[in-house]
Amino acid sequence: MKIAIPYKEGMVNPHFGQSKEFIIFEAEGNKVAGSKIVSNEDLCHNHEGLAGLLKSQGVDVVITGGIGQPMIKALQAMGFEVLTGASGEAAKVASDYLNGTLETANIGICGCGDHDHHGHGC
């Protein structure tokens, strides 16, 4: 299983669409067996492009903080399990998910809607 988390300086990036990179954790059982960082700088706010990037990396689960409904739909359409409202150290979030102890706040849905993201630089 592979878990993708929007990443910024070791932490869950609180805004999925503005993340310049993702950390992808590879799991064996309920333990993290490895990780790698992938750049998505050219795909910020590109819903299908971001989903395609994660799919090409073999990701199964996406854990994020804030995320817009259109991006959630794009991820789910490609078969990802999507968890929102996560925060804190990315490695701990992945470990907590694998151990069944991940706590997320139900505030992870960004109010971005379908509007343009001009001015929301990545």
pLDDT reading at 113 higher than 80: no
Q: Is 19 within a domain?
A: yes
Per-residue confidence band for 117, with pLDDT thresholds at 50, 70 and 90: very low
Q: Dump the DSSP string for 46-84.
A: -HHHHHHHHHHTT--EEE-SBEEHHHHHHHHHTT-EEE-
Residue 30 lies in a domain: yes
What value does the mean pLDDT of the chain take? 84
Q: How far is CA 12 from CA 67, 73, 77, 91, in A?
A: 12, 20, 23, 9
Number of domains comprising the chain: 1
Residue 83 lies in a domain: yes
For the stretch 65-101, pLDDT in tens is: 999 888 898 899 999 999 999 999 999 999 999 999 9
User: What's this model's pTM, rounded to 2 decimal places?
Assistant: 0.84
Residue 117 resides in a domain: no
Classify the C-alpha dihedral 46-118-113-13 as positive or negative.
positive
Residue 25 domain flag = yes
